[in-house]
Chain A
Amino acid sequence: MIENFYIEEEIFRHPLTENILKRIPHKNIELIQNYADFFGRVKKPYLQKRNNLNAFIAQKKGQLVKSAPDAYGLSGEPHFYYIHAYNCIYECEYCYLQGHFNSPDLVFFVNHNEIIAEMQKVYDREIIKQEADKKIWFHAGEFSDSLALSHATNEISLYHNFFEINKRAMLELRTKSANINEILKLKPLPNIVTSFSLSPSQRAKKTDLKTPSTKHRILAMSKLQNSGHKVAIHLDPIVYEDNFQVAYQELFHELDQNLDLTKVEYISAGVVRFTKDVYAQVEKNYPQSDIHAAEMIKSFDGKVRYPRPMRRWMLSSIEDQLLKLKINTEKIYLCMED
């Protein structure tokens, strides 16, 4: 339930705005000129999202499509991301959004046609630079889950049109939700991949608060795969616990039972890490989390992580297990920092 919707006057009558208001329960609506005058202007405690969540409906200004960080996806091809929303309805204890916006309030952007026009420019510019077999990647879900509220935000079909025309453009929709109905309504395309972040069931129960269970996420993946849609897996963040190898073995077994793993587009794996500020927020917001009992150190780049040998050992344990499942090495992407 949204406490207050603050909507930019200019887009109050926008069809996507109307759909959001129709689908998301709320108490009040206020019209404003520009969301940036209010969002993030004061430090609003993150956990206030539990009982006082506001949302803005706005137009994204500035750079609409950005270059993705180096370690974003499979290497050798250009990666970009676009922003469809800020913040998330879920509450993962390790989430970097805790320290990012200074507000847990949601922002939904509705000027997707402008974002898509910008993507077209980026695509046209990049395609001439790349060899014929190379793709140009676009990612959604950098600052908000890309499917969790897709039934209300309704933008996926707009992006689908773009990718149907631009065959060498790849779209990755990152999610922790099981809300796949909007995708199931669309024709499967070889260049749209829905990637699910997964953790072993017990770990997800402990740390991925308010998200669908691992089981439900796997069932959603299975439905998508059976309908001809492409899926991928992010094993990120991997959190250490005494039985972590067994827990991942069970997760892979469950995946193997429900999916054709050989047809999964790619599997990435990364060990939990925090910037100093986000770690401080996690300590403040979740003081009882077992994440704080782990062997964390301040690493070479200032981020708080497990010690390097431990990170490498954890990732190679995961890799070994994946290789045993006959997953092609080229599809496994380990988020190593060196």
Chain B
Amino acid sequence: MNKPLLVFAHPGEAAAFLEQTQKAKLDPTVYFPPAIQPLAGKLHTCSRYDVLITGEGIFSAMNKTLLAASQGVKYSSIINLGICAGLNSKLAINDFYKIRTVYAHNGNAPMFQSFPCHELNSDSEIKSADLMSTFDRVLEQAQAKELNIFAPLVDREAYGMAWAAKELNIEFMAYKLISDLPYQNGHEDEAQNICESIKEQSSLFSEKIYYEFQSKIAPYLDSKEHIQSTANNIKSDTYSQLIQNKDMHFTVSMSKALGKSLKKLELKGVDLEKVHLLADGLVKNYPDWRPKQRASELLKAISEMLNPFRTQLSKNLEELINLGLTPQIKDRINIKWDKDFEKRGFQINTWIENEEHRKQLVDAINSIDLEKFTQIQDGNL
């Protein structure tokens, strides 16, 4: 089973997690790695969770997360846990939040791209809010007031981690504990004191984060629903069974097409048992075909189920063409039309070697009722 990667910006935020191994005498290979060495930038591996501490700032968070999460282990999710500041008077120190969307501000302007976070089933138990990651520390009232219009919480790392998660196509979650309220800060001196105060209280903050994680997040990470959703919405059982069927061979692009088509069939309310019957029929009736040929034919049949209107139009056009063509010319020419029907008319491909061929072609063109042909293409069935 894939495991989550827990990402912290500072060792202080992770302290309670790392100490638990010693405190609770947990098996360090299963739960959290013991805090016996400086951790910044290093990935610590256990069978249940991996832990990474990135260091301060968006770029460090992004680089370290990218590096750690692309080294071979496939993570089910990247979860940022840590402290943040609250930007308005409705918020209180020690409040714990699930982050809904992560934004960033580069000091001059907000950055356009944002990262919505993945939601767990447990999230209704936790208050949610948006978070803005900033390049510089937010210590002043005026700055806090402006940023609060975009998001009420602010940190300095989550955006980098979310960016990395997006790059790696891994779902991202963030949970934050409010450690300070810069909108209350009047003077620079006072603001600097806040930083010291946060450092002093870091172990308390970390314990609170650990408690929230263990009680409200961890149980749901293991739940069946989560495992299902993190398996990249692995289509239906039908998809897996068809891909694994030795009598069928789907190339990469055919597999993608199959996944998309099955999803559409489900949205249409079609019983997927029909697809199994089609596949069984192809295997039974065409034992000499190559597996790829059967897979291709199955995709074609599914496409016809999904596109009944276009299928019917094509049949009507084929019938109309066949009405006038003689057997001699039928084998020698290829008549095509726009499969999406955006263009009216048709195209003929043939090879003319002699006068008879030329005459056959003229006869073939004349045999097609062009008015009726374009009427069908105009939707007059």
State the A residues within 8 Å of B (CB).
4, 6, 28, 30, 32, 38, 41-45, 48, 52, 102, 288-290, 292-293, 295, 297-300, 306-314, 316
Contacts and interface: CB of A to CB of B under 8 A. Distances in A.
B110 A41 contact: yes
6 contacts: A28-B90, A41-B150, A295-B307, A297-B341, A308-B340, A308-B379
A290 B109 CA distance: 40
Contacts of B113: 42-43
Contacts, number: 92
B284 interface: no
Contacts of A307: 309-310, 313, 340-342
A97 to B, nearest CB: 18
Given A45-B114, A299-B340, 11 more contacts: A41-B110, A41-B112, A42-B114, A43-B112, A292-B263, A293-B264, A300-B342, A306-B309, A307-B309, A308-B342, A310-B309
Nearest to A317: B379
Contact of B378 (A6, A41, A309, A314): A309
A295 B343 CA distance: 17
A89 B110 CA distance: 26
Nearest to A307: B341
B306 interface: yes
B109 A41 contact: yes
A26 to B, nearest CB: 13
A299 B342 CA distance: 6
A142 to B, nearest CB: 24
Contact of A311 (B101, B150, B343, B379): B379
B67 interface: no
B370 interface: no
A42 B340 contact: no
A275 B187 CA distance: 51
A309 B313 contact: yes
Interface string B84-126: 0000101000000000110100000111111010000000000
Nearest to B130: A52
Contacts of B149: 4, 6, 30, 32, 38
B341 A38 contact: no
B378 A43 contact: no
B374 to A, nearest CB: 10
Given A295-B309, A295-B310, A307-B340, A45 B109 contact: no
Nearest to B233: A287
Given A42-B110, A309-B379, A312-B379, A290 B101 contact: no
A267 to B, nearest CB: 20
B347 interface: no
Nearest to A301: B342
B379 A316 contact: yes
Nearest to A312: B379
